[in-house]
Structure 1
Amino acid sequence: MGSEPAGMEIVHLLRAVTVELGLHSARFAGRNGMHPTDVRALIALMDAVRADEELTAGKLGAALGLNSAGTTALVDRLERAGHVRRERGTHDRRQVVVRIDERAVELGRAFFGPLIARTLALLEGYDERELAAIRGFLTGVQEAAAEPDSGQPPG
């Protein structure tokens, strides 16, 4: 077996980080009686709040790759657990949007807060140029992974 291309060590580290973050998320889901998709839905809803966007059930389902029945089951399950609520849209009162409940945000903050704090502490060791490089790299990897053909070999 020949030597690996330059950068493969970083690819392997990124894969290891992805696995560890997935395990961390699975522990959160397990401790709170959730399915991993429930956690992804809550993250999508928190991201929407940060972006000042409102998500209908349809938009949430599309973001998670779920069909209509799966989305309805997901939102019903999260609503029964008190993690989300359905409300009229602020921008368009005809729409029903899904909103994350503050209790779900607090639950996530309690579990993920220490990891976030450690990550922020690590980032304090980098200057703005290095942070821009990290940001650019992670954004590029995210975009590459989001490509529909990202699972296909090049060529």
Structure 2
Amino acid sequence: MDAVAASGGEVVFREFLSAIVLNAQAIADRLGLRLIDVQAAHLVTQAGPLTAGALAERLGTPTATTTRVIDRLERAGYVRRVRDPHDRRRVAVEAVPGGMGEADAMFEPTRRHLAALGERYTPEQVALMFDMFTFVTRAFKDATAEIRRGGEGR
């Protein structure tokens, strides 16, 4: 981040991150959910069925907190608990087909505003940005894991 900080880009980058978080919070607010609930719903939608323990690990929350998240999402109709057909003691959380329609619709303004990328930049530049997003995503996941471990890994 030294090159970014030296160029004054750190301010822009922090504003970028803040805009993303506040956008997600606004969506959560409109849905009557918490930000962690929206993130959990996305994780289940992207990864497929997850046990509460696996979801807790990905969210970085205690299992009791994750259980409350699952309860809220289940009440809202976004996810459901299903028993493993091979081990009835195991329960997974899966997205309800079509259940994310309302939540997905809340992202429409974000999608619409981001569509302007195609008007402002060439297809090659857009591809480069998405490559950068992939790199930044991995960097944030790695940093998050390091922070949760207590900062080890430097």
TM-score (norm 2): 0.75
Indicate the residue corresponding to 2:19 in structure 1: 20
- CA RMSD for the aligned pairs? 2.7
Give 3-state SS (helix, strand or coil) of 1:107's partner.
Answer: helix
Give 3-state SS (helix, strand or coil) of 1:87's partner.
Answer: strand
Structure 1 residues 88 and 120: alpha-carbon distance in aligned structure 2, compared to 1, 3 A threshold: farther
The alignment status of 1:5 with 2:10, answered yes or no, reads no
Indicate the residue corresponding to 2:136 in structure 1: 141
* Cα separation, 2, equivalents of 1:135 and 1:46: 21
Letter in 1 for 2:6: P
Match of 2:91 among 88, 91, 96: 96
* Cα separation, 2, equivalents of 1:80 and 1:135: 35
The alignment status of 1:70 with 2:65, answered yes or no, reads yes
* Cα separation, 2, equivalents of 1:80 and 1:93: 26
Structure 1 residues 88 and 127: alpha-carbon distance in aligned structure 2, compared to 1, 3 A threshold: farther
CA contact (8 A) 2:51 2:93 kept: yes
* Cα separation, 1, equivalents of 2:126 and 2:107: 22
Q: Find runs of 4+ consecutive structure 1 residues off by over 4 angstroms.
A: none
CA contact (8 A) 2:40 2:59 kept: yes
CA contact (8 A) 2:80 2:96 kept: yes
Structure 1 residues 31 and 128: alpha-carbon distance in aligned structure 2, compared to 1, 3 A threshold: closer
Identity %: 31
Which structure has more relative contact order (CA 8 Å, sep 6+)? It is 2
Alignment of 1:36-47 (within 5 A): 36-47=35-46
Indicate the residue corresponding to 2:80 in structure 1: 85
* Cα separation, 1, equivalents of 2:99 and 2:76: 9
The alpha-carbon deviation at position 84 of structure 1 amounts to 1.1
Letter in 2 for 1:66: T
Which runs of 5 or more residues in structure 2 are unaligned?
Answer: none
Give 3-state SS (helix, strand or coil) of 1:45's partner.
Answer: helix
* Cα separation, 2, equivalents of 1:104 and 1:14: 34
16-25 or 101-110: which moved more? 101-110
